[in-house]
Amino acid sequence: MKRIAENTINRLIVYKKELERLRREDVKNVFSHKLAILSGFPSHLVRRDLMNVGYFGSPAHGYDVVELEKCISDFLCTPESVRVILIGVGNLGRAILDYCQQQNPKISIIAAFDSDKNKVNKIYHGIYTFHIDSIKNFIKENDIKVVIITVPASEAQKIASEIVDSGVRGIVNFTPVRLQLNEDIYIENLDMMLGLEKVVYFVEGG
């Protein structure tokens, strides 16, 4: 399979989400132009991307909403169910526990971890919180590949190094720390401040 650019993946995920919505609204077909408006990318890019996933529409009816959604899902290899854990049940961590459950039934946070005795063995938004010391075993026993990190910045590097040893392959990192890891781990840095600074740049200067 041809290696697909990260930007393309981003866009595909957006298309998928919009298709999902169209399906719920019982829309049957959609043209590249419409998908372009919904997603915010130009229509020829939409078509180019769909070429990559190997879905073909009809010049008369555009794309079949259900089929295309399925096709993109398959392409993205979204398995029926992915189990993820979250580390750091603070302000942000709890908000995410709540949010994720509403959003994507295929990706489920199956456990949370914290070092704070007051939080351990509690349930937040339906998810049980274990003590951080048990995390390595948990990752191995449950074959966890993806982890969300929402601990304080000062703890992030240490935690990240440890979980990578246990076999984690991907990290969603909400801390402002750039994690340094030896192995080839996929890291998605979601630093909100960076997003805010970018907007300020484009508004004030660029």
Ligand X SMILES: NC(=O)c1ccc[n+]([C@@H]2O[C@H](COP(=O)([O-])OP(=O)(O)OC[C@H]3O[C@@H](n4cnc5c(N)ncnc54)[C@H](O)[C@@H]3O)[C@@H](O)[C@H]2O)c1
Partner DNA sequence: CTCGTATTGTGAATTTTTTCACAACTCAAA
Partner DNA sequence: TTTGAGTTGTGAAAAAATTCACAATACGAG
User: According to CB under 6 A, which one of 88, 111, 164, 171 is a site residue for ligand X?
Assistant: 88
What is the contact mask toward its own copies in residues 144 to 183, using x (rule: CB under 8 A)?
Answer: -xx-x--------------------xxxx---x-x-x---
Count of residues near its own copies by CB under 8 A: 59
Residue 8: burial class (beta carbons within 10 Å; 0-12, 13-18, 19+): middle
Backbone φ and ψ for 195, nearest 5 degrees, come out as -60, -45
- For the four alpha carbons of 183, 184, 188 and 194, in that order, the dihedral sign comes to positive
Q: Which is nearer to ligand X, 64 or 191 (CB)?
A: 191
**Best CA proximity match to 185, nearest among 158, 151, 160:** 160
**Best CA proximity match to 155, nearest among 174, 183, 142:** 174
**What type of residue sits at position 41?**
F
Residues in touch with DNA (CB under 7 A): 5-8, 31-33, 42-45, 47-48, 50-51, 55-63
Residues in touch with its own copies (CB under 8 A): 3-4, 6, 9-10, 13-14, 17-18, 37-40, 76-79, 82, 84, 91-92, 94-96, 98-100, 103-104, 107, 145-146, 148, 169-172, 176, 178, 180, 186-188, 190, 192-206
